[in-house]
Amino acid sequence: MGLKIKVNAKSLVNNLEVIDKAYFDKARNYVDRLGVFFQSDIKRSMGTPKSGAVYNGHRASAPGEPPAIDTGYLVSSIFYKKQGALIGKVFTNTEYAERLEVQMNRSFMGKKSPARKNTELRAKALRPLLKVGKS
């Protein structure tokens, strides 16, 4: 009396390839969704009401608030770009963005920004979507 165990290696490898592709596809989608969400939330936060001083009919942002939209140049320069299958980058190409963020305390993309905090919460909420297989 005994027990014979047989593993069909070819079937196992095929199943692993299917699982690997499914996870990769879900991870790529996860990165894209978060990148687009972050980009959109940065822009949305700039359009919220501000409490800073008024200059020539424009209400500026106060310290601690995301920058107010004046000319639209900064808000239109916020981009999301894929940098690989599982890497995305949200960035601006304006020369004054870092000065606003760091020196003037108008956080809109950095670690203190509402958009960054909202994106971190969204990332946690979307993590279950990365699961592959039966729930």
What digits encode the pLDDT tens for the residues 26-39?
999 999 999 999 99
* Phi/psi at 30 (5° precision): -60, -45
**pTM for the model:** 0.86
Specify the pLDDT at position 18: 84
> Is 77 contained in some domain?
yes
Q: Using only the alpha carbons of the chain, give its radius of gyration.
A: 23
> Is 62 contained in some domain?
yes
Tell me which residue range forms the domain holding 118: 35-129
> Is 11 contained in some domain?
no
- Cα 108 to Cα 80, 94, 128: the distances in Å are 15, 13, 27
The pLDDT confidence band at residue 13, using thresholds 50, 70 and 90, is confident
> Is 26 contained in some domain?
no
Cβ burial of 9 (10 Å; 0-12, 13-18, 19+) is exposed
* Phi/psi at 89 (5° precision): -135, 135
Query: 32: closest CA among 83, 75, 93, 92?
Result: 83
> Is 21 contained in some domain?
no
The pLDDT confidence band at residue 1, using thresholds 50, 70 and 90, is low
- Cα 132 to Cα 23, 27, 28, 34, 126: the distances in Å are 6, 10, 13, 19, 13
> Is 17 contained in some domain?
no
- In this structure, the strands spanning 58-59 and 54-55 are antiparallel
Specify the pLDDT at position 14: 76
> Is 54 contained in some domain?
yes
**Number of domains within the chain:** 1
